């Protein structure tokens, strides 16, 4: 499923974690065309004593195309807003398991200064993030 946000500021927000992949017996963080990562996003799943309860969703991701050069500059735990992506759910028949994946083709880096998740799940100026 291809997704492109019409307004860049409405992109899907994630925390970036570099991820090694094994290619031809060698563990690499990137090739000359793709950067590999895990993307994590916080999802509000409820409340307890008036405080939000959060869970993290994690996605395997590949940065390619116009996202490739920018992705090479990312550091662990950088916040990004994905503005263009292709989402797939790859099924491996011999082990009978699905692996959701995101191919990121464009994104913006979010300033680490003073961002937080609001009660309705959107980024908001203010306090620190509720998860690392």
pLDDT tens per residue, range 17-71: 999 998 889 999 999 999 999 999 888 889 999 898 988 889 899 999 999 999 9
| CA distance between the termini of the chain | 28
Q: How far is CA 81 from the centre of its chain?
A: 8
The pLDDT of residue 78 is above 50:
yes
CB 42 within 8 A of CB 129: yes
Average pLDDT over residues 7-24: 89
The predicted structure's pLDDT at residue 132:
41
- Is 2.40.50.140 the CATH number for 2-125? yes
pLDDT at 70: 95
Average pLDDT, the chain: 84
In the chain, the percentage of residues whose pLDDT exceeds 90 is: 49
CA-based max dimension of the chain: 51
Q: What is the residue whose two structure tokens read 């609001």?
A: 118
- Residue 27 pairs in a beta bridge with 22
């Amino acid at each position: 499923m291809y997704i492109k946000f019409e307004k860049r500021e409405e992109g899907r927000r994630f925390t970036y974690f570099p991820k090694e992949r094994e290619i031809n017996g060698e563990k690499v963080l990137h090739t000359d065309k793709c950067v590999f990562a895990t993307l994590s996003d916080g999802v509000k799943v409820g409340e307890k004593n008036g405080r939000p309860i959060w869970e993290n969703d994690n996605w395997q991701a590949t940065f390619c195309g116009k996202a490739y050069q920018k992705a090479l500059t990312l550091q662990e735990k950088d916040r990004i807003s994905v503005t263009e992506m292709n989402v797939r759910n790859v099924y491996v028949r011999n082990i009978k398991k699905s692996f959701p994946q995101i191919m990121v083709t464009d994104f913006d880096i979010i300033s680490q200064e003073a961002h937080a998740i609001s009660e309705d799940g959107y980024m908001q100026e203010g306090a620190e993030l509720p998860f690392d």
